[in-house]
Amino acid sequence: MGSRRTWRLFGVLVVSLAFAAASCSSDDSSTSDNSTTSAQDSSDGASFRAATYNAGLAVNFVDFANERAPVVAEELGKLDTELLVVQEVWEPEHVGLVEEATAAHYPNRIFLDPQPAEGFAYGGTFGIGVLTNQEIVDQDTLYLESSLNRRAVIYAELDTEQIGTVHVFATHLSAIFSDIPFPGGGGPEAWQQEQADQIETMQAFIDEKVDDENPVLLMGDFNTGPGGNGYSAEAVENYDALVAGGPYDNPYVDDSSAACTFCNDNTLVDDEGSDGFLIDHVLVRDFDGTVDVERIYDENVSVVVEGEEVMMNLSDHFGLLATLTPDSG
């Protein structure tokens, strides 16, 4: 979630303080066929493609979430990559739509079971998922301390045809709100500290899981990012700590043509006073080759609202698609 959008329907969220203790577990995720199905025939055998997308299916928070859900699922079903990580697919029925629409191309997937508790929105769901057509040989989950929304990191070790073993970490970190009090007291600085703590905990988890020199992909909506041409910095201290923790390369940010992913010209964003933010990332470590990243899902689509077709963006975020091509020889 972007930190400066207007919470017009804040009343749908429960604001009492409740924290989930950070812990690791591999038993509480819902996974389909996660160790038996290898790459699809559509693979070109040379490059590995990985996409991250915040679908913005936050009912009563991002406009037209229910109306957009089937369109989001349909569009994700058309995506031709080896890996897709998603955020903000909160409702179980929306998870079902995505799973059904993507099953043919992404037969192996991980969505986390809800952890209902007082103080957490959407019945304690996590909203994140990992979908792939490569073999998942290992998986784990880190549950992060968070407020209002459950937060976690999904780990999946993939055995890929294109680049061999890949360690994938998918997450959606806490947003930094200027107009929502931090539970228990505090303002934006408290939200920023929660995010900073999540980054530190996440990096320790990554260090624990990765004991080789195979590529690492850290992907998702981090709600933090640098400033650049046409987009503003968001909690840049946290972003710097995030990138330094690998250290990770951010090929999209390094490209002079990089643009915002949470943008004020998006039809679902009520944020006219900003330049937008680049807070969705594909971070890369220990990959010998080239990584090209492009923005996706930034065109308007037709969505049926009360029987009428309305043109709008698919989500309040745009996605990123990374193509990893190993060095020859």
**pLDDT digits 0-9 by tens, 115-169:** 999 999 999 999 999 999 999 999 999 999 999 999 999 999 999 999 999 999 9
Residue 35, pLDDT above cutoff 50: no
Kindly state the tokens that stand for 179: 């107009």
Q: How far apart are CA 290 and CA 301, in angstroms?
A: 32
Pair 147, 117: CB distance under 8 Å: no
**pLDDT digits 0-9 by tens, 239-294:** 999 999 999 999 999 999 999 999 999 999 987 667 899 999 999 999 999 999 99
Q: Note the pLDDT of residue 26.
A: 43
Secondary structure E strands in 183-299: 216-221, 280-285, 289-296
Which is more confident, 156 or 23? 156
Average pLDDT estimate for 106-121: 97
Distance between terminal CA atoms of the chain? 42
Which is more confident, 145 or 15? 145
Please state, rounded to an integer, the average pLDDT across all residues of the chain. Answer: 89
Q: Name the nearest CA neighbour of 180 among 5, 63, 21.
A: 5
Query: Backbone dihedral region of 123: left (phi > 0), alpha (psi from -120 to 50 degrees) or beta?
Result: left
Which is more confident, 32 or 154? 154
Pair 37, 107: CB distance under 8 Å: yes
Average pLDDT estimate for 105-124: 97
Q: Note the pLDDT of residue 156.
A: 99
CATH fold, domain 10-326, is Deoxyribonuclease I; Chain A (3.60.10)
Secondary structure E strands in the chain: 23-25, 29-32, 48-57, 83-89, 108-112, 129-132, 135-144, 151-160, 164-172, 216-221, 280-285, 289-296, 300-305, 308-313, 319-326
Average pLDDT estimate for 16-38: 42
Q: Note the pLDDT of residue 45.
A: 55
Average pLDDT estimate for 208-221: 98
Q: Name the nearest CA neighbour of 31 among 162, 171, 137.
A: 137
Name the phi and psi angles at 317, rounded to 5: -115, 155
Kindly state the tokens that stand for 231: 């987009």
Q: Note the pLDDT of residue 248.
A: 98
**pLDDT digits 0-9 by tens, 170-202:** 999 999 998 899 998 899 999 999 999 999 999
Which is more confident, 203 or 6? 203
Q: Note the pLDDT of residue 272.
A: 67
Q: Note the pLDDT of residue 31.
A: 54
Q: Note the pLDDT of residue 41.
A: 38
Amino acid identity at 70: P
**pLDDT digits 0-9 by tens, 38-52:** 333 334 458 999 999
Residue 78, pLDDT above cutoff 60: yes
With residues binned 3-state (H G I as helix, E B as strand, rest as coil), the percentages for the chain, rounded to 5, are 20, 35, 45
CA distances from 4 to 1, 178, 297 (A): 9, 7, 21
Q: What percent of the chain has pLDDT over 90?
A: 81
Q: How far apart are CA 112 and CA 292, in angstroms?
A: 30
Name the phi and psi angles at 9, rounded to 5: -120, 45
Going by their DSSP bridges, the two strands 135-144 and 216-221 should be labelled as unpaired
Please, which pLDDT band fits residue 20 given cuts at 50, 70 and 90? very low
Q: Name the nearest CA neighbour of 115 among 84, 88, 86, 149.
A: 149
User: pTM for this structure?
Assistant: 0.90
Kindly state the tokens that stand for 183: 């539970």
Q: Name the nearest CA neighbour of 156 among 201, 109, 202.
A: 109
Cα 245 from chain centroid (whole Å) = 19
Pair 266, 233: CB distance under 8 Å: no
Q: Note the pLDDT of residue 30.
A: 59
Residue 3, pLDDT above cutoff 80: no
Domain ranges of the chain: 10-326
